Chains A and B, each alone.
Chain A
Amino acid sequence: MFDYGAYLRKDKFPLIWCSGCGDGIALKAMLRAIDRIGLSKDEIVMVSGIGCSSRLPGYVDFNTLHTTHGRAIAFATGVKMAKPELTVIVVTGDGDATAIGGNHYIHAARRNIDLTVILFNNWIYGMTGGQVSPTTPFGKRASTAPYGSTENAFNISGLAEAAGASFVARETVFRPQVLDKFIEKAIRKKGFSVVEVFTPCPTTYGRRNKMRSVIEMMNWLKDHAVPKSRAEKMDPQELEEKIITGVLVDLDLPEYTEEYQKLIDRVKS
C-alpha cells in the first residue's frame, strides 16, 4: 500500500468529485510519481484553472494555486520564472487548457518552459454540467450539443507536439500503473511536458452517450486504448475512435527559464 496520506490534505476529504469520476485515479498516479522522484512538498507548486479537475490542488499538501478559467499555465509561467528552482505542475481540463486556455497552452509549449501539465481529458465540460468541449468527439452528445456535436475534436497531444513541447504522453486512467510512470517522466523532463489523461466523466458525458455507468466507461477506455507501438502497425480505419497511448514525444530541447538565466548572466553588470 502506497502511503498517499503524506501528500493529502485529509481534512478536505471526501473528494468533491462524483462517484466514479476518474480524476481521483489520476491524482493518485501523480502522487506516486512525485514520491518516486523524491521531491519535497515545499518545492512543488501545483497550479490549476477552473473545472472539476482543477479542484485537485485543494486536496494535496503542496503550494497550491487555483486560478481563473483557462489561465493556469499563464499563472504557472509567472511562478516558474520568478522561482525556477520550484517544480511547477499544472492540473487542467480539456476545456480549461484547450478552449479558453488554448493560447497559453500552445505558447508555453513553444517557449518550452519547464512546466508539467497534467491534462484531464474527459471530452466534456464537467463542472458546468456537460457542455460540448473542444475534445468532444464528432457526433457525441453534450448539453449544448443535444443532437450530437457537429464539430471536429482537438488532438490535444498532437497540438502540444506541434507547438514544441519536450515531452508528450497519453494514457487512460484504466492503466494507472503506467500512467504514474508517464507522469514521473514528464516531471523529470526539463521543458514543457504534457500528460494527456483520458478520464471518465460518468455524470455529464457517460450518461448522455450510452454509457450508463462508469464501469462501461472504464471498459470503453480499456478496449479503445492502443499502445503507440501497436498503433503504428494498424491502418487509419482501425484507429478510428481509438486512443493512442504511450510516450509520443521525448526530446531534449533548450528550456526557457534556463535560457533566460543565461541571458541574465550575460548582461548582468
Chain B
Amino acid sequence: MTEKTAKKKRSRIVVKREWCKNCAICVEFCPKDVLVMKDGFPEVVHIENCTLCQLCELRCPDFAIEVYEDET
C-alpha cells in the first residue's frame, strides 16, 4: 500500500497493489493529473491538485484505489 496526504485539501489516496491490475484508468481520467503510472502502478504526484471528485475510485474496476477525505 502506498499513501500520500495533503494537509490543505485533506485528501488521501490509497492504492491496493495486491488488487490493482495496472490498467491505468484511474491515472488517465483523473481530471487534475494527480496520478501517474509508475512501475505499473498508479502513484500520487500532485495530491495538492486533488479535488476529491472520486472519479479515479469510481472508475477503478478492481477496488484497488481509494480516496479518503481525512479529518484534520
Q: Which residues of A contact B (CB under 8 A)?
A: 1-2, 4, 8, 13-15, 17-25, 28-29, 173-174, 176-177, 213-215, 218
Contacts and interface: CB of A to CB of B under 8 A. Distances in A.
Nearest to A216: B28
Interface of B: 18-19, 21-25, 28-29, 54-55, 57-63, 66-68
A-B interface, 8 closest residue pairs, ranked by CB to CB distance from nearest? A24-B61, A19-B21, A20-B23, A176-B58, A19-B23, A14-B19, A1-B66, A215-B28
A4 B19 CA distance: 14
A14 B55 CA distance: 21
Contacts of B57: 1-2
A24 B60 contact: yes
9 contacts: A1-B54, A1-B66, A13-B63, A15-B62, A20-B25, A25-B58, A25-B59, A176-B59, A215-B24
Nearest to A3: B66
A177 B63 CA distance: 15
Nearest to A8: B63
A17 B61 CA distance: 9
A15 B23 CA distance: 14
Contacts of A18: 21
Contacts of A214: 23-25
A90 to B, nearest CB: 20
B58 A14 contact: no
Given A1-B67, A215-B28, A19 B22 contact: yes
Contacts of A19: 21-23
Given A14-B19, A19-B21, A24 B28 contact: no
A4 B23 contact: no
A218 B29 contact: yes
